[in-house]
Copies of this chain bind each other. A is one copy, B any other.
Amino acid sequence: MSLACGIDVGGTKIAGGVVDEHGVILEALRVESPATDAEAIEEAIAGLVTDLRSRHDIATVGVGAAGYIDKARAVVLFAPNVAWRNEDLKGELEKRVDLPVVIENDANAAAWGEFVYGAGHDVDDLLLVTVGTGVGGGLVLDGEVYRGANGVGAEIGHMRVVPNGILCGCGKHGCFEQYASGSALVREARALAMSGAMIAQGMLQRAGGDLNAITGPLITEAAQHGDQGAIQQLSELGRWLGEGIASLTEILDPGVVVIGGGVSEADELLLGPTREAFGAQLVGRGFRPIPEIRKARLGNRAGLIGAADLSRR
């Protein structure tokens, strides 16, 4: 396989990298994202590709973006953070860079990256669950990215887990990501600290008494230093995560579940409670294969690596 360029389009930054056939990033760049101007982002992506291409023999381009991508992997139907609506991104980029381009949902791209080069390199199937600002999902099955009928599947963060539950940015109540994301972790820790609960005082102290300085990394660090309040919060997050993954396993039957996203840095402080809750909720234990729950390996570069790799298949 030749070199491929992977692009990861976020709400504030666009990352680009040159990826070889072993999944190694030979060079990576990052530019600001002019998120509200569809055409300007396309120019920025083309600029990144052109720049990287001047130093590397790039044959294809893969772009990962949050949102609904059509099944032909060409058109962005809707992107929550960027000004694309029914945008033929593949066409626009191919016009600009004169290389074959594929567009992929960012969680799908990350799932593919983990599948080929990361936590799933030794298995045939995996469900990636990313625990970050929201909860994202990507499924690889029989060596293919699962795309559903329209290309918009695996939006696991909006499975409803609590009727009349917490209001989600999507307008529904009780979405999975309101309970199992890094944002949920922070919201709950802050609410606990604000309520004056003793168990939250350690976190609050680490935050210099400033509620808004309680962040995901702070909670993880506190837990790693033995703070009981932080351990409890990660455990509670793990419980929701594990129970949600049990529902997803009934539906999708993945071979392996890989937990990624920023909060996965908490390692066993998150994964232990996740596995326990998962095991307690899965139907038919003893009569069915139980998917293993693993930590992701590629960190926040999984999407870039995955998108690059998908572009050359």
Contact = CB atoms under 8 A, between A and B. Distances in A.
A307 B34 CA distance: 54
Interface in A148-180: 148-167, 170-173, 175, 179
Contacts of A162: 162-165
Given A141-B149, A166-B167, A171-B191, 6 more contacts: A78-B287, A149-B254, A151-B253, A163-B164, A163-B243, A172-B283
A208 interface: no
Nearest to A157: B250
Given A77-B288, A150-B289, A250 B283 contact: no
A54 to B, nearest CB: 37
A281 B154 contact: no
Interface of A: 68, 77-78, 85, 124-125, 137, 141, 147-167, 170-173, 175, 179, 187, 191-192, 194-197, 243, 246-248, 250-256, 280-281, 283-289, 291
A149 B141 CA distance: 7
A197 B284 CA distance: 11
B155 A251 contact: yes
A250 B77 contact: no
15 contacts: A68-B287, A124-B149, A148-B253, A150-B253, A151-B253, A152-B253, A159-B250, A160-B246, A161-B163, A162-B165, A164-B179, A165-B165, A166-B166, A170-B195, A171-B191
Nearest to A192: B171
A140 to B, nearest CB: 10
Contact of A160 (B125, B191, B194, B247): B247
A149 B68 contact: no
A175 to B, nearest CB: 8
A284 to B, nearest CB: 6
Contacts of A85: 287
A154 B251 CA distance: 4
A281 B170 CA distance: 10
Contacts of A197: 171, 280, 285
A251 B159 contact: yes
A173 B192 CA distance: 11
Nearest to A196: B286
A166 B149 CA distance: 33
Contacts of A281: 160, 172
Given A153-B252, A255-B149, A195 B285 contact: yes
A164 B167 contact: no
Contacts of A280: 197
Nearest to A125: B149
Nearest to A244: B160
A284 B149 CA distance: 16
